[in-house]
Structure 1
């Protein structure tokens, strides 16, 4: 093997893990990783929602941040509900906390925050680190248990991410089919309603003509 070919082979080998890492990072960022800041109003509730499929692990950490501690550290109340209104997590007088669950229903999961005290505070914010699906998986434990590391671990992450995206696409396809079916049913109902409305209009017109004809006949106008 020539020196140039050997150099190119070494460069390709060094670039492979980097390419895998970039691909994993792209898929990772596209599936269930994100932290949000919520500025809480003096009164009222601030919520964040996420549409999630069934049988998906959700893990979230939240912490209260404030610039004004003259009245003590502000606390908040937290409530997490499922699409059908079931309470999955509820906490009061909290400054930090965590909730974790596995979804059983498909739809929008809602996490709501509000201040416990109505005292005026300059700024009160909540940092919510919301992890869904593969982002909530403990990859360190997986690596120790299965004794994998490096490129093999990154490939495992990539495989899991691809499977998650594939399931998500199937879910979106199912939702699209349901929406199309609802749209077709709605269109059919609109057509039948239009036909019924036209029939009623025709019937009313015929009755009006018949009534006018009898009226004119009684008055001997025709």
Structure 2
């Protein structure tokens, strides 16, 4: 294979792969939604967790969140209620904007929850889901 063919294949792979990795703060009682335009039949995987403000101690109840992943037509692909972490994986049934919404539970006094979130679709998601399956076996 020539170098130009290898470069073209690598570039195409990068174009077809979407990786969203972020960390954001969420005030208790508030919601933040993140959308991703996903092609029909594309594999998508994600993982999220509330960051512990006190390393080495259990995560406080003030850092529990609700998470929902929905399709462009409102179909639920994942939900987590009062969790501090989770994973999801699905094959998109229809093309369009898929949305993941995080809601920090209501607390008085108000608390800030830091959330780490990684969302992969396409080739990167395929590779990641294979690795996850191998680790579980």
Task: Give the TM-score normalised by structure 1.
Answer: 0.48
Matched, 1:57 2:57: no
Contact 1:79–1:89, Cα closer than 8 Å, also in 2 = yes
Deviation at 1:118, TM superposition (A): 1.7
CA distance in 2: counterparts of 1:70 and 1:132, whole angstroms: 29
Task: Summarize the Cα distance change of 1:73–1:133 in structure 2 as closer, same or farther, 3 Å threshold.
Answer: same
CA RMSD in angstroms comes to 3.2
Residue 119 of structure 2 aligns to a residue in which SS? strand
More helix, by proportion: 1
The structure 2 residue matched to 1:46, chosen from 28, 32, 46, is 32
- 2:92 alignment counterpart: 103
- 1:126 alignment counterpart: 115
Task: Summarize the Cα distance change of 1:131–1:70 in structure 2 as closer, same or farther, 3 Å threshold.
Answer: closer
Q: Unpaired segments of 5 or more residues in structure 1?
A: 1-15, 143-222
Residue 137 of structure 1 aligns to a residue in which SS? helix
The 5 A counterparts of 1:165-180 are: none
Count of residues in correspondence between the two structures = 124
Task: Give the TM-score normalised by structure 2.
Answer: 0.74
Deviation at 1:120, TM superposition (A): 3.6
Higher relative contact order (CA 8 A, sep 6+): 2
- 1:8 alignment counterpart: none
CA distance in 2: counterparts of 1:134 and 1:35, whole angstroms: 16
Q: Deviations over 1:48-71 (max 9, x none)?
A: 000111000000011111426895
Contact 1:78–1:112, Cα closer than 8 Å, also in 2 = yes
- 2:20 alignment counterpart: 34
CA distance in 1: counterparts of 2:18 and 2:59, whole angstroms: 37
Residue 99 of structure 2 aligns to a residue in which SS? strand
Deviation at 1:91, TM superposition (A): 0.7
Structure with greater Cα Rg: 1
More strand, by proportion: 2
